């Protein structure tokens, strides 16, 4: 009888599902942040390459 009651409580418990949902949300946000940082890094590298080229051209002229 006691085992049956424990099984019913486990089947009604939704805490595990909530933890999984939060973990998936956290993973999704982490991937979005990494993608944004990667794009920003690429744009920053491109900007500094243009600055370097402009400075070389200005000092050679």
- The model's pLDDT over 6-19, given as tens digits with 9 standing for 90+, comes to 777 777 777 777 88
Q: What is the pLDDT of residues 31-43, one digit of tens each?
A: 999 999 998 998 9
d(CA 25, CA 54): 44
pLDDT at 5: 83
**pLDDT-based confidence at 61, cuts 50/70/90?**
low
What does the alpha-carbon distance between residue 35 and residue 16 come to, in Å, rounded to a whole number?
29
Rounded Cα distance between 36 and 57, Å, is 32
Dihedral sign for Cα atoms in the order 41, 47, 51, 57: positive
The pTM score is 0.55
Query: Per this entry, what is the length of the chain?
Result: 61
What single-letter DSSP state applies at residue 2? H
């Amino acid at each position: 009888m006691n085992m049956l009651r424990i099984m019913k409580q486990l089947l009604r418990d939704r805490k595990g599902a909530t933890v999984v949902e939060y973990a998936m949300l956290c993973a999704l946000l982490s991937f979005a942040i990494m993608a944004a940082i990667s794009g920003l890094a690429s744009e920053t590298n491109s900007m500094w390459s243009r600055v370097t080229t402009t400075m070389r051209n200005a000092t050679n002229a």
